[in-house]
Amino acid sequence: MKYFTLFTLLLASFYSSAQSLSPSVIASYGKWSDNGGYTLSSTSGEMMIQTFTGGVNILTQGFQQPDEKTVGIQELNADGFSIQIFPNPTSDLVTVNLQSSNADSYSVVMYDLLGRKLALPGTFDQSNSQLHQTFNLSQLASATYFLCVINAQGEIKHSFKIQKISY
């Protein structure tokens, strides 16, 4: 009888499955679109209310959940050049270091969410193989901005989200 119970428990463990939770929304309006590797989702309602954490579990109330953000240095090593952007998020200064064999053929420009090019104070130093630029965001409102690396033909090669915060 003891072996029969043990065998039954082992067999039951193979045919049972654990609960799996995936993000879901119950809303009066919502849409999901997928096209060529890009996705767009929208719902009506509140953006976010509050986030609770406990150990490895995270519970965020609200409809659209933001991507997980990290503080630190964003780095990109591609297309024959290396880019470092730090700190992000920032309350005042953001620094861009670009290294390439032809760094003088690139420029760095900052845009707001409406696509307007921002003329920001800061420092600029460019040589044949290195571009070092610092933007002063202290006069801007707390929001998300886009930092774009543009080649000599005017094409945006890479873009990065910069979060301006207030303390």
Under the banding of pLDDT at 50, 70 and 90, the label for residue 31 is confident
DSSP codes of every residue in 14-43? HH------------SSEEEEEETTEEEEEE
Residue 45, pLDDT above cutoff 70? no
Residue 154, pLDDT above cutoff 70? yes
Q: Does domain 72-164 have CATH number 3.30.930.10?
A: no
Amino acid identity, position 65: Q
Instruction: Tell me what pLDDT residue 73 has.
Output: 61
Residue 164, pLDDT above cutoff 80? yes
Residues pairing with 124 in the sheet: 133
The pLDDT tens digits for 120-147 are 877 777 777 888 889 999 899 989 999 9
Residue 28, pLDDT above cutoff 60? yes
Instruction: Measure the CA–CA gap between 123 and 95, rounded to whole angstroms.
Output: 9
State the span(s) of the chain assigned CATH 2.60.40.10: 72-164
Closest-CA residue to 63 (of 21, 20, 31): 31
Q: What is the mean pLDDT of the chain?
A: 76
**Predicted TM-score of the model (pTM):** 0.54
Q: Cα(first)–Cα(last) distance of the chain, in Å?
A: 68
Under the banding of pLDDT at 50, 70 and 90, the label for residue 155 is confident
